[in-house]
Amino acid sequence: VGFDSLGVLDHLRWDLEAGPHGFWECLSVVAALAAVTSKIRLTTAVLNSQFRNPALVAKMAETIDMLSEGRFTLGLGAGGGPPVEYESFGFTHDRRYSHFEEAIEIIHGLLRNGEIDFRGSYYQAPGCILRPRGPRPSGPPIAIGAGGPKMMRLTARFADEWNGFTLQNPTTDFFAPMLAELAEACRDVGRDPQTLRRSIDIVVAPTGETEPLPQGFGVPIHGPPGEIADQLAAFSGIGISEGRTYLWPQSIDTIEAMAPVLAELATTSARATGSSGT
C-alpha cells in the first residue's frame, strides 16, 4: 500500500455506546509484527506508562528492537482513557503525570546507559542493569505523546520524538500552538528544537465514510485521494516529520483505499525535493 511505519495502540478496553471493545496486548502484537516484517518501521502509539513496570518496558523495548533489527520506536505516554479501563485491570488512574515522570527517567536511563540506580515514590529500579543490548548502542528511539506543558518539558528532556494526537480537529491550526509550546520547552532545557522529530496521529477516512464514528471522534480527514494527500502534506509545512493515520472504518478495504493517497503524497514529496523517485 505504501506505508512507512505501523503503530499499535495500547488500550485494554474501550467502552463504546454499542458495548465494550477490546484490544490485543500492544507489545505482544508489535513483537509478532517484528517477526513477520522486514522493512516497515514499528512503534507503540503510545504505550501507557501506568500499565507496566518501567524497567521491564525498557527490557521489552530492547528485545523488540533486536527482533526487528533496529526498526522499533518506543512511543510512551502518561495514559488516557476512563478510570474503568485502569481499575478493571488492577491499575491506578491517579497521579498519571507523577508516575510517568519516574517511569521515563528509568526507561531513558536503561536504554541510553544500560543501567540505572533509581528509588522513587512509585517505582524502584535499584542497581538495574539492561543486558543483553540490542542492535543500537543507545537503544531504540523514544517518542513521547505530549499535549500539556509538563509533558512537553519531559519530552524536551528525554525524547527523540514528540507525538501529538487528536480525534477532534485534524488541522494545522490545531497543532501549530502545540509546536510553539514544544519549541519553548526545548529552549527552557537548553535543547535545539530542531533536534526533536515531530509526529502526529490523526483520523482519516479514505473511503469517504465518516459516519457512524465512535463516541468522542470529530470529523476525520476525507475526500478524494488528491484532497486527502493535500491536507496531509500541509502538516509538513508546520514542521511535522511524520503523520500517522487512524483509518476509518476499520477494514482491509480502508487500508487499500490509502494506496492512491500515499502515491499522491510520494509524488508531492518528489516534486518538493526535485527527485524523480518515491
> What is the rounded radius of gyration, in angstroms, for the C-alpha atoms of the chain?
19
Quote the CA–CA distance of 30 and 27 in Å, as a whole number: 5
Please determine, for residue 275, whether its predicted confidence score (pLDDT) is greater than 60. Answer: no
Quote the CA–CA distance of 87 and 209 in Å, as a whole number: 34
* The three grid cell numbers given for residue 53, joined into one nine-digit string: 513496570
Determine the pLDDT at residue 74.
99
Domain ranges of the chain: 1-9+40-143, 146-278
HSE-CB of 191 using CA atoms within 13 angstroms: 21
Helices in 73-221 by DSSP H: which ranges?
83-87, 96-113, 149-158, 172-188
- DSSP helix/strand/coil, 6: strand
Lowest mean pLDDT among 61-70, 135-144, 213-222, 239-248: 213-222
Please determine, for residue 276, whether its predicted confidence score (pLDDT) is greater than 50. Answer: no
Lowest mean pLDDT among 48-62, 158-172, 213-227: 213-227
Quote the CA–CA distance of 212 and 209 in Å, as a whole number: 8
Residue 37 gets which letter from DSSP?
-
Domain 146-278 architecture? Alpha-Beta Barrel (3.20)
Q: Which of 140, 135, 132, 102 is nearest to 114 (CA)?
A: 132
Q: Which of 151, 43, 165 is nearest to 96 (CA)?
A: 151
Q: Which of 8, 59, 61 is nearest to 33 (CA)?
A: 8
Residue whose grid cell is 509538513: 236
In angstroms, the first-to-last Cα distance of the chain is 13
State pLDDT tens for residues 57-96.
999 999 999 999 999 999 999 998 889 999 999 999 999 9
Determine the pLDDT at residue 268.
77
Please determine, for residue 24, whether its predicted confidence score (pLDDT) is greater than 70. Answer: yes
Determine the pLDDT at residue 173.
96
Percent of the chain residues past pLDDT 90, beyond the cut: 85
* The three grid cell numbers given for residue 59, joined into one nine-digit string: 527490557
Local confidence band at 33 (pLDDT 50, 70, 90 cut-offs): very high
What is the arithmetic mean of pLDDT over 43-65? Answer: 98
In this structure, are residues 93 and 23 in contact, taking their beta carbons and an 8 Å threshold? no
Please determine, for residue 277, whether its predicted confidence score (pLDDT) is greater than 60. Answer: no
Please determine, for residue 120, whether its predicted confidence score (pLDDT) is greater than 80. Answer: yes
Quote the CA–CA distance of 57 and 144 in Å, as a whole number: 14
State pLDDT tens for residues 139-193.
999 999 999 999 999 999 999 999 999 988 899 999 999 999 999 999 999 999 9
